[in-house]
Amino acid sequence: MEPDLRQEVEAAVFRRLVEHLRRRSDVQNIDLMILAGFCRNCLGDWLREAAAQKGVALEKDEARELVYGMAPAEWKRRFQKEATAGQLAEFAQAQKTHSHD
């Protein structure tokens, strides 16, 4: 695949992932962290880092809003649930196995 086409395809996949996560507000960030080692906040941070590599400065919440589709504080108020003791324990265990890039 040609590099330009590959970049377009990868960008389309990223947009689809973001849209999927916006529709699935029932999926909590802690669950994503437990299972996959990343969450919506990570995607926003990675987006901010990639923009910085291109000379574009994004604030943390500005980048995360691009992922959430709203201010992160608003998403948290509307959708985030208190983590259970079980989730916190699973998260602690998962942190031992997931690499942190």
Q: How confident is the model at residue 100 (pLDDT cuts 50, 70, 90)?
A: low
The CA-CA-CA angle for residues 29, 35, 37, to 5°, reads 70
Mean of all residue pLDDT scores within the chain: 95
Q: Can you give the pTM of this predicted structure?
A: 0.89
Kindly tell me if the per-residue pLDDT of 101 is higher than 90: no
55: left (phi over 0), alpha (psi -120 to 50) or beta: left
